[in-house]
A = this chain, B = another copy of it.
Amino acid sequence: MQQITVDLGSRSYPIFIGEGLLSCRDLWRELIGTSQAMIVTNTTIEPLYLARLMQAMPQGNVKSFVIPDGESYKTLAVMHDIITQLLKQKFSRDCCLIALGGGVVGDITGFAAACYQRGVRIVQVPTTLLSQVDSSVGGKTAVNHELGKNMIGAFHQPVAVMADIEVLASLPDRELRAGLAEVIKYGIIRDSNFFAWLESNIAKLLSRDSSCLAYAIERSCINKAEVVAEDELEDGVRAILNLGHTFGHAIETGLNYKVWLHGEAVSMGMLMAADLSNRLGMLGKENVHRIRSLLEHAGLPVVLPDSLDVERLRELMSVDKKVRNGKLFLVLLKGVGHAVVTDEAPEDALKETLKSFLSTSANS
């Protein structure tokens, strides 16, 4: 078992990475003790892992609540349902929530924990590669609004993250690939050695080689923990973690969160960011090619669906959280392993980038 610390002073917490953590009674006894605890999970994960986790829990007041599966349920209404359960069970301010699931379960349960009685503890138990390397770490919680993704939320750090590699066995291939998009992101934004390692090991990762997966998760979490420790509330450097996300969120919203997985939209967005960086003379063609090639080898999409158009995408990008004083802040690239945040991307070049991926699609 690996342990990485997210260093945030009095709010520091451990990320545990290993096989069989879901069943590790000792760890759970230490984390939960005799507190009231509620495991929140979804209809897909419940039959797979809820019983296993329940069995590892200390004796006492442990409940569970199952929400529907899918990004379209990451709403204020479902968050309200979680709060209703907590109130019905008379959970007090010293209770602990446990989010067992992917990014949606983690985000919505994290937000419920942030708001219930103005804040209670939460342990994140991510069950997808994507949530293990990204959303479970760093305290960002949120639900979606009809007019924008993650627009209602809070910064609320967990008390621990448990990344159990064993549960990845049940992950569909498509979700594994979507998770690799965020893994690749860390290489692109700040870790060129890791990017090179990924170029050499992408096939092993796709075949779920467990020591390769463990290493990829560890490197990803170390990168994320370092960035979060430096800038918890995203006033500065943390923004680089959003590489591809402003494009990606616009794509997801444009598709009503129904066609593409988050990691797929981020993959597309990262390639758009690389393309735009190249148009602005910041990034060489060969690096755009390396990025495209790794994403393609990971089985991730590199063209946009036909149903989108330039104006709609640009409109959706303008309500992104990365807009400040009317200016759109974008994460762009000066190299593989070197991301920068800028509000100076010319509107023309941005639209050219959007257009180029749409025309590719139209021609394909």
- Residues of A at the B interface (CB closer than 8 Å) are 34, 76, 80, 83-84, 87-88, 90, 92-94, 114-119, 140, 142, 145-148, 151-155, 233, 318-319, 321, 323-326
Q: Could you write out 15 A-B pairs with CB less than 8 Å apart?
A: A83-B152, A84-B145, A84-B147, A87-B319, A90-B319, A93-B324, A115-B115, A115-B154, A117-B153, A117-B321, A118-B140, A118-B153, A118-B155, A119-B155, A154-B154
Q: How far is the CA of A93 from the CA of B239 in the complex (A)?
A: 13
How many copies of this kind of chain does the complex include? 2
Contact B154 A114 (CB under 8 A): yes
Q: How far is the CA of A146 from the CA of B148 in the complex (A)?
A: 27
Q: How far is the CA of A169 from the CA of B160 in the complex (A)?
A: 52
Q: How far is the CA of A117 from the CA of B249 in the complex (A)?
A: 14
Residues of B within 8 A of A84 (CB): 145-147
Closest to A92 in B: B323
Contact A318 B118 (CB under 8 A): no
Main secondary structure, interface of A, reads mixed
Closest to A320 in B: B92
Contact B154 A118 (CB under 8 A): yes
| Contacting residue for A324 out of B92, B154, B155, CB 8 A | B92
Q: How far is the CA of A233 from the CA of B117 in the complex (A)?
A: 11
Contact status of A88 and B147, CB under 8 A, knowing A115-B154, A117-B321? yes
Closest to A90 in B: B319
Closest to A94 in B: B324
Contact status of A92 and B325, CB under 8 A, knowing A84-B147, A87-B147, A118-B140? yes
Q: How far is the CA of A66 from the CA of B117 in the complex (A)?
A: 26
**Top 4 A-B residue pairs of the complex, sorted by shortest distance between their CB atoms:** A87-B147, A92-B323, A117-B321, A118-B153
Contact B321 A115 (CB under 8 A): no
Contact A83 B145 (CB under 8 A): yes
Q: How far is the CA of A146 from the CA of B86 in the complex (A)?
A: 12
Q: How far is the CA of A84 from the CA of B323 in the complex (A)?
A: 17
| Contacting residue for A92 out of B90, B114, B115, B326, CB 8 A | B326
Residues of B within 8 A of A148 (CB): 87
Contact B318 A151 (CB under 8 A): no
Write the nearest CB–CB distance from A242 to chain B, whole angstroms.
13
Q: 15 extra interchain contacts, Cβ-Cβ under 8 A, other than A88-B147, A115-B152, A117-B321?
A: A83-B151, A83-B152, A84-B145, A84-B147, A87-B145, A87-B147, A90-B318, A92-B324, A93-B321, A94-B325, A114-B154, A115-B115, A115-B154, A118-B154, A119-B155
Residues of B within 8 A of A114 (CB): 154
Contact A153 B323 (CB under 8 A): no
Write the nearest CB–CB distance from A253 to chain B, whole angstroms.
11
| Contacting residue for A90 out of B87, B153, B154, B323, CB 8 A | B323
Write the nearest CB–CB distance from A237 to chain B, whole angstroms.
16
